[in-house]
Amino acid sequence: MNTVTRPRILVVGGGFAGVACVRRLERKLSPWAADITLVTPTSYQLYMPLLPQVASGVLTPQSVALSLRRSTKYRTRIIPGGAIGVDLRSKVCVIRTITDRTVTEPYDYIVLAPGSITRTFDIPGLTDHAYGMKTLAEAAYIRDHVIAQLDLADASEDPAERAARLQFVVVGGGYAGTETAACLQRLTHAAVERYPRLDPGLIKWHLIDIAPKLMPELGEKLGRSAQEILTRRGIEISLGVSIAKAGPEEVTFTDGRVIPTHTLIWTAGVVASPLIATLDAETVRGRLAVNADMCLPGHDGVFALGDSAAVPDLAKGEGAVCPPTAQHALRQGRQVADNVIATLAGRPLRPYHHKDLGLVVDLGGTDAVSKPLGVELRGLPAQVAARGYHWTALRTNVAKARVMTNWLLNSVAGDDFVRTGFQSRQRAKLGDFEYTHAYLTPEQVRAHVEEAGRRVR
């Protein structure tokens, strides 16, 4: 059969949802049944829940970056870049490649899985001075930055500078922020032994959240256990507090406290990828409003899932939408692939239905709290559940081997606290890591697609 006559399936985003979809399509569709194309800026699928362990040096960056080209069975064409707009009427996706070239890609079916970006607010200085924890580059950058603060504090003769460099602020008491604060506090606690000139008492971690509780999804008792573990380790937790202002050398909390610090890590939630706004379609708090079968109402052949879509949570009912978790994204990816195949075959689509399996929170070492299938666990059993869950969820055997080896090596040999020096002279901003300024407006998308069409004619 001629390639041109084959249906073109375009998957946007190579994360949990996108890769699960592509792998299923590759397995279930013969190469002659459809052309599959994936648009993604990176050549790997990032196992994001383990990012705090990359930042703290327990895992190497490579071990959580799962190659998209590991097997010769992976026949999908990959466009290295990011979608910056989609014109639903003409069925064309506008892409900026990693060399900054803008190209257009027509499709018959599109699966939108570009995930989310760090949610920010209009707080003075925030986007200039905060670091996020959403990308591999951010995790590696933060690790270097934190070790650099120890090095700089050690070299400084100025007590005020030393104190400021040894204070760290994490905003966001969800699992991402809590794990990040916990894992990085362990890093500084262990590292300071290698700096005999530094007073360990000067190292101070602050974890703050505007909500009245840490990780409310854990429930009252487990949430309190997590808080006790962190407090015991010297992390100062402030609830009902956010930041009013951020600067290069200090952060002002909304309760008036001014914290001298060079490190502000912002993990206060996520919002859908800005790509969704380019569609000019209905959204639910920024996520694309889709049906339970993950189709966009009124647009044939458009599917959306994962963090970027508001997929109805049928297991919860009452108008609930699935929370933005890897657990849902992965399963939605498989289900969407089945629904794309059903569409091709003219069969009815199936709604997405999954009952949440619970939450695991790795606080480093043997500290953890977990609630698998509603069972509350603390300490070592919780840690076994957390690491066991993540290890099993890693998609490839080579990733499993890398992660397990890293865990073993780290538990035996510890960390050398080496700073790589990449980008050390460049202060990287949130937007630089997450490419938030690349997207077009719906009008720009249409203009671009029309212009590209004229050039072809």
Residue 88: closest CA among 21, 178, 10, 185: 10
Q: What mask of x and - would describe binding to ligand FAD in positions 46 to 65, judged by CB under 6 A?
A: --xx-xx-------------
Q: Which is nearer to ligand FAD, 24 or 134 (CB)?
A: 134
In the complex, the smallest distance separating the C-beta of residue 152 from ligand FAD, rounded to whole angstroms, is: 26
Q: Which of 292, 326, 342, 404 binds ligand FAD (CB under 6 A)?
A: 326
Q: Which is nearer to ligand FAD, 306 or 312 (CB)?
A: 306
> What distance in Å separates the CA atoms of residue 129 and residue 277, rounded to the nearest whole number?
26
Q: What mask of x and - would describe binding to ligand FAD in positions 73 to 92, judged by CB under 6 A?
A: ---------xx---------
12 touching ligand FAD, by CB under 6 A: yes
Q: Which of 53, 225, 273, 406 binds ligand FAD (CB under 6 A)?
A: 273
In the complex, the smallest distance separating the C-beta of residue 345 from ligand FAD, rounded to whole angstroms, is: 25
Q: Which of 8, 9, 11, 14 binds ligand FAD (CB under 6 A)?
A: 14
Cβ atoms of 111 and 11 within 8 Å: the answer is: yes
Stretch that binds ligand FAD, among 8-16, 28-36, 69-77, 415-423 (CB under 6 A): 8-16
> What distance in Å separates the CA atoms of residue 449 and residue 451, rounded to the nearest whole number?
5
Residue 180: closest CA among 215, 218, 216, 128: 215
67 touching ligand FAD, by CB under 6 A: no
Centre a 10 Å sphere on the Cβ of residue 78 and count the other Cβ atoms it contains. 18
Cβ atoms of 366 and 329 within 8 Å: the answer is: no
Strand order in the sheet with 368-372: 358-362, 368-372, 377-378
271 touching ligand FAD, by CB under 6 A: no
Q: Which two tokens stand for residue 418?
A: 């080496």
Q: Which of 325, 423, 436, 444 binds ligand FAD (CB under 6 A)?
A: 325
Helix (H/G/I), strand (E/B), else coil: 35: strand
176 touching ligand FAD, by CB under 6 A: yes
- Closest-approach residue to ligand FAD (CB): 15
In the complex, the smallest distance separating the C-beta of residue 160 from ligand FAD, rounded to whole angstroms, is: 32
Size of the site for ligand FAD (CB under 6 A): 34
Which residues between 89 and 128 bind ligand FAD (CB under 6 A)? 113-115
Q: DSSP of 224-257, one letter per residue?
A: HHHHHHHHHTTEEEEES--EEEE-SSEEEETTS-
Residue 59: closest CA among 401, 432, 421: 401
Centre a 10 Å sphere on the Cβ of residue 395 and count the other Cβ atoms it contains. 17
Helix (H/G/I), strand (E/B), else coil: 153: helix
Q: Write out the residues near ligand FAD by the rule CB under 6 A.
A: 12-18, 39-42, 48-49, 51-52, 82-83, 113-115, 133-134, 175-176, 273, 275, 306-308, 324-327, 329
